[in-house]
A and B are shown apart, each in its own frame.
Chain A
């Protein structure tokens, strides 16, 4: 069933397995202890960074399938995307698997796009089990969008650090885990920002549009969610989003957070925070899903944003369009189980 941009799932597809891989710098960041695997070096045993990124998607998918306790043959479809031209990391990783593949591109919002599409397909009964994955790598993104790694230049204060990370999750029509209850597909929004080093400002209007569309379609308010989390608006972008929402009559309180802003510690010198497909994907598949499984968060509005830009278009003087897709994740843990979990944790301490 859908209302305007929002799909409300009848059967509420379940995330039965998840897995996250990050680079060494990310492992030292704020979410370090939550990731399933922290790479020892950025190359991940390969000779180029592009190959490393491909291997990260591969390993994340294998890990998610293991985590879901199913066989690779049970997977019907793979939905994946990344930041590189022609989404090579995803497509090349798909060579190693024996399932149907759909490549997606929503820049940094790809994880939500793949989850929303995957959940729709599963909910409609078209597929039983779907795997969604995205990845980004600092070194491959720098080379494609910016400068060589060893160039001695300074980064502007609005710039963000592309996260080296990958995440994958398995969606099925039944099982245990957090449930995807709604998805809001976003429009492409462009408010005329040209600065490629200020992606937060370029994407914030898209986040605003999708958020308002979601609240209107589902008749909810920000207070109905335990956590509203955007993908990689960064420090500046999330401040802008709060202002924009306020202009539209919505107050984002302490339950609003941004993955990019939280990702790195203050001493890691990432200026406005993390960005990239891997940013929201790795946080979702580690921290957020863990908290949902434990029942600490009951209802999350997860809405990664993407700046749909290319270096060619930017050099031709085009402004940067942004997009944002939102999904609602609900915990399947009831209050008794939460109490039990808390007791168990207290005993450990």
Chain B
């Protein structure tokens, strides 16, 4: 009996899988390429501008400031309700750059602001970005250990 149910479920899952409307890969890829590219160009532009205005600044410091500006911009656009519209169009193109990271933190913070500053904003802020941070830290530890031995 159990086997029969399993078979039925497998058959049903197979049937549903075949019936699901597919996302069109090429248009989605194109959209994310364009938007992701624009965000990267914007980053490079900001970097060049900073270096143009402050010629004595080290490249490393200019990169840091560029990131700060991009994070602020994405956060601001999330706040005024524009970034989710960009994301709907671009998909991965606006999630992968650092702006997507900023959006995931700001949107979570915004969503839970009514539960209070500590239990709402502070606790829930990293619900989506948390895994990214954990992966980043773990990866850097791993790379650090490998670096120690070579």
Say yes or no: A158 contacts B110, CB within 8 Å.
no
Interface residue? B103 (CB, 8 A):
yes
For B, the interface residue count at a CB cutoff of 8 angstroms equals 37
Chain A residue with Cβ nearest B6: A192
* Residues on B with beta carbons closer than 8 Å to the beta carbon of A158: 20-21
Which of chain A's residues 114-157 have a Cβ closer than 8 Å to chain B?
A: 143, 147-157
Q: Given A191-B9, A191-B12, A192-B13, verify A150-B20 contact (CB < 8 Å).
A: no
Say yes or no: B103 contacts A157, CB within 8 Å.
no
Interface residue? B66 (CB, 8 A):
no
Chain B residue with Cβ nearest A150: B107
**B81 nearest CB across to chain A (Å):** 6
Say yes or no: A152 contacts B86, CB within 8 Å.
yes
Which of chain B's residues 74-128 have a Cβ closer than 8 Å to chain A?
A: 78-79, 81, 83-88, 90-91, 94-95, 100, 103-104, 106-108, 110-112, 114, 128
Say yes or no: A150 contacts B83, CB within 8 Å.
yes
Interface residue? A340 (CB, 8 A):
no
> How long is the Cα–Cα vector from A158 to B111 in the complex, in angstroms?
24
Most buried by B among A148, A153, A205, A319: A148
Say yes or no: B19 contacts A236, CB within 8 Å.
yes
Chain A residue with Cβ nearest B85: A152
Interface residue? B23 (CB, 8 A):
yes
* Residues on A with beta carbons closer than 8 Å to the beta carbon of B79: 150
Say yes or no: B9 contacts A152, CB within 8 Å.
no
> How long is the Cα–Cα vector from A151 to B112 in the complex, in angstroms?
13
**B22 nearest CB across to chain A (Å):** 7
Say yes or no: B95 contacts A152, CB within 8 Å.
yes
Chain A residue with Cβ nearest B20: A158
Q: Given A150-B78, A150-B83, A192-B9, verify A156-B95 contact (CB < 8 Å).
A: no
* Residues on A with beta carbons closer than 8 Å to the beta carbon of B110: 148-150
Q: Interface of chain A, helix or strand or loop or mixed?
A: loop
Say yes or no: A153 contacts B16, CB within 8 Å.
no
Say yes or no: B107 contacts A240, CB within 8 Å.
no
* Residues on B with beta carbons closer than 8 Å to the beta carbon of A151: 84, 87, 103-104, 107-108, 128
> How long is the Cα–Cα vector from A48 to B114 in the complex, in angstroms?
7
Q: Given A154-B88, A191-B9, A192-B9, verify A149-B111 contact (CB < 8 Å).
A: yes
Q: Given A152-B88, A156-B23, verify A205-B111 contact (CB < 8 Å).
A: no
Q: Interface of chain B, helix or strand or loop or mixed?
A: helix
Chain A residue with Cβ nearest B104: A151
Q: Given A191-B8, A198-B16, A201-B16, verify A149-B107 contact (CB < 8 Å).
A: yes
**B7 nearest CB across to chain A (Å):** 10
Say yes or no: B9 contacts A147, CB within 8 Å.
no
Q: Given A150-B84, A152-B83, verify A236-B21 contact (CB < 8 Å).
A: yes
Say yes or no: B10 contacts A192, CB within 8 Å.
yes
Within 8 Å by CB of A152, from B20, B23, B87, lies: B87
Which of chain A's residues 322-347 have a Cβ closer than 8 Å to chain B?
A: none
**A318 nearest CB across to chain B (Å):** 13
Say yes or no: A153 contacts B95, CB within 8 Å.
yes
Q: Given A48-B114, A143-B111, verify A152-B16 contact (CB < 8 Å).
A: no
Interface residue? A47 (CB, 8 A):
yes
* Residues on A with beta carbons closer than 8 Å to the beta carbon of B108: 148, 151
**B32 nearest CB across to chain A (Å):** 9
* Residues on B with beta carbons closer than 8 Å to the beta carbon of A193: 12-13, 16
Interface residue? A223 (CB, 8 A):
no
Q: Spell out B's residues near A (CB within 8 Å).
A: 8-10, 12-13, 15-16, 19-23, 28, 78-79, 81, 83-88, 90-91, 94-95, 100, 103-104, 106-108, 110-112, 114, 128
List 20 extra interface pairs beyond A150-B79, A157-B21, A192-B9, CB under 8 A. Answer: A147-B128, A148-B111, A149-B107, A149-B110, A150-B106, A151-B104, A152-B83, A152-B84, A152-B100, A157-B22, A157-B23, A158-B20, A191-B8, A191-B13, A201-B16, A236-B19, A236-B20, A239-B19, A243-B15, A319-B9
User: Can you identify 7 A-B contacts, CB atoms within 8 angstroms?
Assistant: A148-B111, A151-B128, A154-B88, A191-B9, A192-B13, A193-B13, A240-B16
Closest CB pairs A-B (n = 4):
A152-B87, A192-B9, A148-B111, A150-B107
